[in-house]
Amino acid sequence: MEIISRFDAKQQKLKSFYTGVPCVNNHNSERYVSTGACIECQQQRMRDYQRLHSTENVARVANWAAKNKEKRKEYLRKQDKKRSEEKHKYLDNFIEKIYNVHNLY
How far from 12 is each of 2, 37, 39, CA to CA, in Å? 14, 18, 19
* pLDDT for position 101: 66
* pLDDT for position 27: 94
Task: Render pLDDT for 26-81 as a digit per residue (tens, 0 to 9).
Answer: 999 999 999 999 999 999 999 988 887 888 888 888 899 999 999 999 999 999 99
| Cβ-proximal residues to 8 (8 Å cutoff; 6+ apart), any chain | 17
Task: Render pLDDT for 79-104 as a digit per residue (tens, 0 to 9).
Answer: 999 999 988 888 888 888 777 766 65
Domains of the chain, residue spans: 78-105
Select from 48, 9, 49 the least CA-distant residue to 32. Answer: 9
State how far Cα 43 lies from the chain centre: 14
* pLDDT for position 26: 93
Q: Is the pLDDT of residue 105 over 60?
A: no
C-alpha torsion angle, residues 93, 96, 101, 103 (rounded to 10): -170
* DSSP three-state, residue 54: helix
